[in-house]
Amino acid sequence: MTLKPNSLEELWMPFTANKHFKQEPRLFVAAKGVYLKNHRGETLIDGCSGLYCIPAGHGRREIADAVHKQLLELDYSPPFQFGHPLQFEVARRIAALAPGDLDYVFFANSGSEAVDSAMKIALQYHRAKGQPQRTRFVCREKAYHGVNFGGTSLSGMVRNRETFGPLLAGISHMRHTRPPEHKFVMGQADTGADLADDLQRNVDLYGADTIAAVFIEPIAGSIGILPPPKGYLQKIRETCDKHGILMIYDEVITGFGRLGENFACQTFGVNPDMMTLAKAITNGVIPMGAVVANDKVYRTITDAGPAKGIELMHGYTWSGNPAACAASLAALEIYKSEDLFARAKKMTPYFLEQIASLREFGIVTDTRGIGLLGAVDFEPADGKPGLRGYEMLQDLFNNGLLARITYDTLILAPQFVCEQTHIDEIFDKTRAAIRRTMNRPQLRAVS
């Protein structure tokens, strides 16, 4: 291959239409606060907190300074059999934010790694209890649990799975929590708690003593924001307790204030045995993930291990990386000092009102949201699911808004530092984009 300066050709981009992108690139070159600059010098407002990961806004000097200082002081510390002070401080701070006895933090480098780590921990927990036959995992349709083999196997997004063969064995899926009767319901629906009975059906089919854990996103995020019905999580928790099954929350998107509380489990009043975290743990600045486990899980595994030997044969070269820990501590301090989780809660009613108002457009088939998470479904165009969504993605970029598009679903997740004027700007640009797509002959929805 003959290399050309800035040809864009050499990079294989993730979850991207590579061929088309390289014909019409969408590049960001700078960011500050709630705004970004693209390669043409145009300003865009960030309507999705990057990728749900930057609640405190872009370009936070406090985080940059903390990382710079740490790199000059201690740039790397091997995590196997050695440690550094910041690891323990970040773990202490996260444990203090978590409810109940979720007191132990295991570091990874992404949400995907955190999910696979939680799977391994669950398997070892049951082995330590003398139940090694508990190897099955139960999760849900439309779920997203990252892209490693474990998380892809758990996930219920068909397009993410279909090209990779059978994946891991011993995984079954419950129904998702957005039946047709919940269309245009904002927040938690009053009906649908009986969907949690699917876990008992898995128990009846496979036997309780074969199931290690159930993985639940408190709110299914990547597929388009699916809140749980009222009472749903409580019923899942009761079934887990009855049959000795671990309940694991994937809070990669919902963790750190997205619903106005520290974690979604506190919003819903149902604590898991473990939860996975990432994204906002560093305000999106440096890759970092974590598994938070309760006392029962941690002590069962460590007590069963040798007195001076390794208890959990698992970890990553960059588990608890010093620079990532410095970024996390700085981000956590910003969240606290600026009371950002309370700001998110205060902004939520107005944000959800704006999401619900998009129902006025004829091509909108559903609106839903909870906390600072909202989604809008559109009728497919020309009988081709995803076509309208991809056109809107480009249109929004060209007209000043960064949003998340999944198939024909628009997802908005504004930063916690947003003011009402920023919310208005996001929705003004959204409405304008909807009008444009309705007026394009090639994108008229098939009735």
CATH H superfamily, domain 18-56+339-443 = Aspartate Aminotransferase, domain 1 (3.90.1150.10)
User: What is the C-alpha separation between 267 and 55, in angstroms, rounded?
Assistant: 18
pLDDT confidence of residue 4: 59
Question: Which residues in 102-210 belong to E strands, given as ranges?
Answer: 102-108, 136-140, 171-174
Contact 255, 291 (CB under 8 A): no
Instruction: Name the packing angle between helices 197-206 and 232-243 (round to 10°).
Output: 30
Element containing residue 116 per DSSP (H, E): helix 111-128
pLDDT confidence of residue 383: 82
pLDDT confidence of residue 440: 77
Parts of the chain with a pLDDT under 50: 1, 444-447
Read off the pTM.
0.95
Q: What residue segments make up the domains of the chain, in order of their start?
A: 18-56+339-443, 63-337
Q: Do the two domains 18-56+339-443 and 63-337 of this chain adopt the same fold?
A: no
Q: Tell me whether residue 208 is exposed, middle or buried, using C-beta atoms within 10 angstroms of its C-beta: 0 to 12, 13 to 18, 19 or more.
A: middle
Partners of residue 405 on adjacent β-strands: 410
pLDDT confidence of residue 6: 72
pLDDT confidence of residue 447: 33
Q: Tell me whether residue 347 is exposed, middle or buried, using C-beta atoms within 10 angstroms of its C-beta: 0 to 12, 13 to 18, 19 or more.
A: buried
Class level of CATH domain 63-337 = alpha beta
Q: Tell me whether residue 285 is exposed, middle or buried, using C-beta atoms within 10 angstroms of its C-beta: 0 to 12, 13 to 18, 19 or more.
A: buried
